[in-house]
Structure 1
Amino acid sequence: MSRTFNHSIFHHNGDSVFKGKYLSLNVIVMLFTLTFAFCDVYARAQGISLSENNATIEKILHDIEKQSGYGFFYKKQDVQSVKPISIHVEKYTLVQVLDELFGSLPLAYEIQGKIIAIKRKEISSIPAQQTAQELITINGVVHASSGALAGVSVLVKGTNKGTSTDGTGNFSIKVLPNSSLVFKSLGYLEKVIQLGTESATLDILMEPGMDNLEEVVVVGYGTVKKRDITGAVSTVKEEDIKSMPIVALDRALQGRIAGVQVTTNSARPGGSTSVRIRGTGSINASNDPLYVIDGFPTGDLNSINPADIESIEILKDASATAIYGSRGSNGVVLVTTKRGTKGQSNMNLEAYYGIQSLRHKIPLLNAREYAEFINEARINGGGQAYFDGSSADRPLPSQLGEGTDWQDVVFQNAPIQNYQLNFNGGDSKTQYSLSGGYYGQQGIIVDSEFKRYAMRANVDREVKSWLKVGISMQGAHTNSNNSRTETEGGASGGVTNAALNFAPVFPIYDANGVYYRDVSSLNPDYSL
């Protein structure tokens, strides 16, 4: 019985390669992969030739990729921390090249299928002979103005290796050259010391870090000094919010508050997140926290310009959320926006612009390879070859070229930009803060975007010594256009899934200049 196929098949010499950067695909992809054991054996045994002088590790890895077909997975900072090296090999196997490259470096590799994972060598995993040659010994004493400090953590930055000071504040540790030591102790500021290439003796002076207890924290009933707080309250400051471009304030909480789970539901432009402060307490009702901005509850987080935020406080326990009643049962996120200050008037302009792009395309068969595969599959199933040259829609495989790569049709390089203008100032009686901003983000999928136009005005006036009035106004307009990317099963479950499944032998447009639609038996899911 003849069988038909509606899936584009991945080329057996290509696999998805991840190089330690986050992958900005907003999709769930169903992969249908052909694996041949002899291909892997051949790739590892084929000859690799390199001739590089003072080249970066990244360039050498790129050359190995092109010759071997293997991909590398690594943290960029691990590779960039290694100085340029020289390597000269002629027709070496893949394993021989990797042993030659990483033998004298503080990096190790592991081959998993077609991916080669690279990570820093653990000190304990370095051979004894190499350890004696490369490790340096760092001795030292840690003290404060009051005397020696015992129990100070001494960690090698970027690793889990470390030690602690003894009763007299002394420590000793063996590390790789050019490492950094991090000194931590409760009640003192963290200190980072960059080491050189030689053994050394350090004298570390720790500075008290108790000033943060004087910070004022916003709670449900007003403000209070951090040292006087008895409930569970956490704070995200303005500098943390500005450390990376974000579309909404919930993104600023991600990875910054202990016990608060922030999960990105969708990476589409303006996509939402799931915030859980006190876990999941209900199956049917909402588990989202209550968001309060300058005292007013809100639900549309995309309407708030993150550049207007001065601080975010998270109220976790029952005593801190009692003022909000049942609405605060899942925790409360208090947002304080910027207000005017006494003194000279200021004007601040902030802007950034960037480009988002697809990190890696899935390697698929081109039109000729696809036609050959379909013919072979039909013949193996007892049928006749589909692409037999009998009509214009069924040419011979040799008459086909690359065809249509539907990923190139669907994906694009997408700009992201943000502009913010703020005026603030005031005198002893009146303070003001006026701001306007524009945020625009194109999606890497064509025709997906998010735009926001926002304005905010905060004005405070001291009428009497015992009376202060103020006004907070905000206006925002958002516009979003999202492509359907969710996968619901079948070949038509989302734009990305369709781009991977639609046959490369089909053109983008038909003879009439409209989008092509297949009505043949080759793709029955798309037929009329």
Structure 2
Amino acid sequence: MRKFFLTWLFACLATGLAFSQTRIISGVVTDNESIPLEAVTVVIVGSQKTVTTDAQGSFKIEASTGQSIRFIYMGADPLTIPITAESTNLSVKLNIAINKLNEIVVTGYQRERKKDITGAVNVVDVAKIKDIPSGNAVKSLQGRVPGVLITTDGSPTGQATVRIRGIGTLGNNDPLYVIDGVPTKNGLEQLNQNDIESIQVLKDASSATIYGSRAANGVIIITTKKAKKGYSKIDFNASTSIQNYATKLKTLNADERGRAYWQAAVNDKANPNNNQIYQYDWNNNVNNPILNQVILPEFIDAAKTMKAADTYWFDEIAQNSIIQSYDAALSNGGEKGNSLFSLGYYDNKGIVKESRSRKYTTRFNSDYNYLDNKLKIGENFSASYIKNAQIPTSDILFASLVQQPIVPVNTINGGWGGPAAGMTDRQNPVRLIEDNKQNTYNFYRVLG
């Protein structure tokens, strides 16, 4: 038995030494065609050790058995390789995504291949956001563009805040939007998302050399769709979706809130029955308190108009959100030119009752060549109308969280329930909805 134990202990020590032994790992990194790659970042996963490859694609880095090496190169898929006891001289081949480097990028003055651009540019894969029914293309970009922070409040009428180059000192930190060559500081909520052909984000200071000081916070370039040569077609898209809470905040009911008040009072060695709402059947011993029952009053106000309730306010203000989107496009492309006409309708009934955003859009793009392609005449024309309900959704959700459940939605006379004596002064969230549902915001825009 002793011999077996010593053998086992020696094996464990030998294994631990093998895994903890640090040694130099070297190798060469090449592309798909076995051409050495320079400036590949080589990282030991989970550590601060980082080196880059030289002109011959060679690298040397310290690592231990059991760790992993990660290779990162622009335009290539990242590769992670585990280090084994046999890992000494590695031969690494990275898969270069040629299509990404050959993407055409609109920079303002011209179109260039992405691999020929020295500035910081991100090209958005529009195909991945076309089925997201957000009503605002910027909202669909959340988490899809590295280095770009996009925040929204979740409301169907809420705007998206975009920060590309952080917070500036001149007040307005919004990026510049360029839609078919026309600069604007308005966002993309006026556009039909299905009319967008491409989106590029210019993030570095070089964009200011093209668009001036307006581009100090970055530039988002949008190119809308045009008809393709040799094709005439009609496109129609329709979608309907339903949204609701994944989870609702579980607030205390009337009995649970009464118990919480009782517990707070006895913790302070106070008489919990010294309040105007709840009464308690308990043993009156603050040193060993025992609660038998929470006694709710029949009415919570002196005028006896508000009966004690057990209101779950989130149910009172919520509804199933129905989102509908319809758009149609007619395009015609020929030898001499092309034209495209589209119509769009978007309707988002929010999760909060009476919150709603409706958008109507139309677009006409055309290009025609004359005099043996020496003269081009065309237009990019769009019009949009947006009608939003002005519901204070943030205030409604906050009131639903803090309003006491013992307060009824309505009085026995049909009026609005509200805080009684001894309660904090909080709004009735259902009343906030009803008092504001007639308020609307109407926006018209013609661009071209």
Q: TM-score, normalised by structure 1?
A: 0.57
* Separation in 2, partners of 1:404, 1:211: 57
Q: Give the equivalent residue in structure 2 for 1:404.
A: 311
**For residues 129-140 of structure 1, what are the structure 2 equivalents within 5 Å?**
none
Q: Give the equivalent residue in structure 1 for 2:404.
A: 503
Alignment check: 8 A CA contact 1:309 1:336 kept: yes
* Separation in 1, partners of 2:41, 2:199: 30
Query: Kindly, what percent of the aligned residue pairs are identical?
Result: 33
Give 1:286 deviation, angstroms: 0.8
Secondary structure in 2 aligned to 1:505?
coil
Give 1:349 deviation, angstroms: 2.6
**Aligned amino acid, residue 218 of structure 2:** G
Alignment check: 8 A CA contact 2:308 2:407 kept: no
Question: Given the alignment, which residue of 274, 283, 292 partners 1:383?
Answer: 274
Q: TM-score, normalised by structure 2?
A: 0.66
Give 1:429 deviation, angstroms: 0.7
**For residues 109-128 of structure 1, what are the structure 2 equivalents within 5 Å?**
none
Give 1:321 deviation, angstroms: 2.8
Q: Give the equivalent residue in structure 1 for 2:438.
A: none
**Aligned amino acid, residue 247 of structure 1:** G
Q: Give the equivalent residue in structure 1 for 2:290.
A: none
Q: Give the equivalent residue in structure 2 for 1:462.
A: 369
Structure 1: stretches of 5+ with no match in the other structure: 1-127, 129-140, 176-180, 194-202, 487-493
Give 1:297 deviation, angstroms: 2.2
Give 1:338 deviation, angstroms: 0.6
Give 1:267 deviation, angstroms: 1.6
**Aligned amino acid, residue 360 of structure 1:** T
**Of 203-212 and 442-451, the range deviating more from structure 2:** 203-212
Give 1:467 deviation, angstroms: 0.7
CA pair 402-418 structure 1, distance change in 2 beyond 3 A: same
Give 1:204 deviation, angstroms: 10
Question: Given the alignment, which residue of 230, 244, 248 partners 2:118?
Answer: 230
CA pair 315-207 structure 1, distance change in 2 beyond 3 A: closer
Which string of whole-angstrom CA distances, capped at 9 and with x for unpartnered residues, describes residues 72-121 of structure 1? xxxxxxxxxxxxxxxxxxxxxxxxxxxxxxxxxxxxxxxxxxxxxxxxxx
Secondary structure in 1 aligned to 2:97?
coil
Verify: 1:276 aligned to 2:183, yes or no.
Answer: no
Which string of whole-angstrom CA distances, capped at 9 and with x for unpartnered residues, describes residues 363-410 of structure 1? 333233444555674962672674468974159xxxx99721111102
* Separation in 1, partners of 2:92, 2:133: 36
Q: Give the equivalent residue in structure 2 for 1:313.
A: 200
Query: Superposition RMSD on alpha carbons, in Å?
Result: 4.4
Verify: 1:249 aligned to 2:159, yes or no.
Answer: no
Question: Given the alignment, which residue of 314, 332, 350 partners 2:237?
Answer: 350
Alignment check: 8 A CA contact 1:231 1:317 kept: yes
Question: Given the alignment, which residue of 515, 518, 521 partners 2:416?
Answer: 515
**Aligned amino acid, residue 296 of structure 1:** V
Q: Give the equivalent residue in structure 2 for 1:447.
A: 354
**Count, aligned residues:** 363
* Separation in 1, partners of 2:204, 2:237: 36
Q: Give the equivalent residue in structure 2 for 1:58.
A: none
**For residues 190-229 of structure 1, what are the structure 2 equivalents within 5 Å?**
190=77, 208-229=96-117
Q: Give the equivalent residue in structure 1 for 2:175.
A: 289
Give 1:335 deviation, angstroms: 0.9
* Separation in 1, partners of 2:250, 2:365: 53
CA pair 315-368 structure 1, distance change in 2 beyond 3 A: closer
* Separation in 2, partners of 1:418, 1:443: 14
Secondary structure in 2 aligned to 1:343?
coil
Question: Given the alignment, which residue of 381, 387, 410 partners 1:479?
Answer: 387
CA pair 206-385 structure 1, distance change in 2 beyond 3 A: closer
Secondary structure in 2 aligned to 1:470?
strand
Alignment check: 8 A CA contact 2:120 2:204 kept: yes
* Separation in 1, partners of 2:245, 2:116: 49
* Separation in 2, partners of 1:153, 1:326: 34
